């Protein structure tokens, strides 16, 4: 419940990324370490050549991330075509990965760098929403492949040894990461969350195992033992996470709490997560701008969601929290700090597609006030059925403004209409 946004989860994410960076370095240098002798190439020469290729690839990727990818995604985003945007993102990631392979590096390195290339752009939230279904699919395939790689007969034969090795790995990593967390003055709960969450073997370890297996000869049964140990440690984490709270209470009772020393330097995505009591404004047209300006004059925080990349650029340059995203996608509302919001306002005229977005908000925050617009009275009933609290009908507002303006021409105040009829 909210654990993904906790201090311990963010700490464990940082360690996991740091681990992955080291694994990427291993993947780069493995061919040089294992094949230099077989090809009669000096080890130093092989490592130098690999380092040069890696540096060249990183340099090319930085140039792409700085000058090419943002401009390409901006041009595609301006087309307002969701399908074209998704295809472009997939093509860029696959292209960068194959560029790494063409330079004698690994595909996982290319895929990792491709993710880094778009991680700092304003499009990352939209990309995240688009690729999340694919991520879930491939993650499922990955864990299925791990299970299929386990030889159950070998596990049953050496179950005591495998259980001991896996338990030792879990205890060692959990204790080490928890100790590091406490050294950084995290709370016991945060440190234990990180320690238990990362006590398993990393997913990239399987990639390393497959790479080294193709380059050298392992003792018979050794790869199978490693795969079984990794699989056991991965499968144990969900059950072990339930022990975080009792363990934190136990440690708190025996060791005094220390004041946190970490002072976070918030990035834009972290600023969004830190929002509280804010308004979520969907659409930044004339109505959205007016609402955002009115809230700003009152000192009230707001988060803007829009599909105009130029608009998001401007808002971020001004320091205003903004997401380049589609309000109809569920992942967007996970990013918008919805539990701590005060209201959601859909400032563009409601349509059938908008009804789906309203339903997503209502599903996550049933009591959150929702404001919406409808252009025609024929659409009002359908929008009201979605559970909006305030529905502004453009026809009615336009008629009211038109009547008031016409009466002023005749020097009649709007409130005099009723009194004239009575007389």
C-alpha torsion 209→213→217→221, nearest 10: 60
User: pLDDT tens-digit profile of 117-155?
Assistant: 777 677 877 887 777 777 778 878 877 877 777 777 777
Q: Which residues contact 266 (CB under 8 A, 6 or more apart)?
A: 274
Specify the length of the chain in residues. 423
Residue 244: domain span: 151-262
Check pLDDT > 60 for residue 418: no
Q: Are 368 and 247 in the same domain? A: no
Q: In what order do the strands lie in the sheet with 279-282?
A: 322-324, 302-306, 279-282, 343-349, 370-374, 390-393
**Res. 345 pLDDT band, cuts 50 70 90:** very high
Question: How do residues 218-240 score in pLDDT, each as one tens digit?
Answer: 666 677 777 888 888 888 888 88
**In the chain, what's the furthest Cα-to-Cα distance?**
110
What's residue 31's pLDDT?
Answer: 67
**Most confident range, picked from 7-21, 34-48, 247-261, 285-299:** 285-299
DSSP string for residues in 131-153: HHHHHHHHHHHHHHHHHHT--HH
pTM: 0.61
CATH of the domain at 300: 3.40.50.720
Q: Is 177 left (phi over 0), alpha (psi -120 to 50) or beta?
A: alpha
Q: What is the average per-residue pLDDT within 16-23?
A: 78
Q: Which two tokens stand for residue 64?
A: 């792409």
3-state class (DSSP) for residue 282: strand
From 210, 233, 262, the end of a domain falls on: 262
Residue 19 lies in a domain: no
Same domain? 383 vs 332: yes
Which of 206, 236, 262 is a domain's end point? 262
245 with 166, same domain?
yes
For residues 174 and 314, membership in a common domain is answered with no
Last residue of one domain, picked from the residues 100, 118, 148: 148
Residue 268 scores a pLDDT above 80: no
């Amino acid at each position: 419940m909210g654990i993904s946004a906790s201090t311990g989860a963010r700490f464990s994410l940082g360690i996991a990324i740091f681990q992955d960076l080291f694994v990427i370095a291993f993947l780069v240098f493995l061919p040089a370490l294992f094949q230099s002798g077989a090809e009669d190439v000096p080890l130093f020469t092989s490592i130098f050549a690999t380092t040069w290729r890696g540096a060249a690839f990183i340099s090319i990727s930085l140039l792409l991330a700085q000058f090419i990818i943002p401009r390409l995604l901006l041009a595609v985003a301006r087309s307002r075509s969701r399908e074209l945007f998704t295809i472009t993102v997939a093509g860029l990631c696959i292209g960068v990965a194959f560029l790494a392979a063409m330079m004698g590096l690994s595909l996982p390195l290319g895929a990792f760098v491709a993710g880094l290339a778009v991680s700092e752009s304003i499009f990352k939230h939209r990309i995240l929403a688009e690729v999340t279904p694919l991520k879930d699919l491939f993650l499922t395939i990955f864990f299925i492949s791990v299970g299929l790689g386990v030889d159950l007969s070998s596990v049953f034969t050496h179950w005591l040894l495998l259980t001991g090795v896996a338990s030792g790995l879990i205890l060692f990593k959990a204790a080490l990461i928890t100790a590091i967390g406490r050294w950084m003055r995290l709370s016991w709960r945060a440190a234990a969350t990180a320690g238990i969450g990362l006590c398993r073997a990393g997913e990239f370890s399987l990639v390393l195992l497959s790479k080294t297996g193709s380059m050298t000869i392992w003792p018979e049964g050794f790869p199978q033992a490693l795969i079984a140990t990794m699989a056991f440690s991965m499968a144990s984490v969900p059950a072990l996470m339930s022990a975080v709270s009792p363990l934190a209470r136990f440690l708190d009772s025996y060791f005094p709490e220390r004041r946190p020393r970490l002072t976070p330097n918030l990035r834009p995505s972290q600023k969004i997560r830190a929002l509280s009591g804010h308004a979520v404004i969907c659409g930044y047209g004339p109505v959205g701008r007016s609402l955002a300006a009115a809230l700003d004059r009152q000192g009230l925080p707001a988060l803007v969601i829009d599909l105009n990349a130029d608009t998001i650029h401007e808002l971020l340059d001004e320091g205003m929290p903004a997401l380049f995203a589609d309000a109809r996608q569920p992942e967007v509302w996970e990013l918008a700090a919805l539990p701590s919001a005060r209201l959601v306002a859909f400032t563009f005229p409601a349509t059938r597609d908008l009804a789906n977005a309203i339903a997503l908000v209502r599903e996550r925050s049933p009591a959150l006030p929702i404001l919406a617009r409808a252009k025609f009275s024929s659409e009002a009933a359908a929008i009201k059925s979605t559970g909006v609290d305030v529905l502004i009908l453009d026809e009615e507002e336009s008629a009211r403004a038109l009547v008031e303006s016409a009466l002023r021409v005749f020097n009649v105040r709007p409130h005099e209409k009723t009194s004239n009829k009575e007389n």
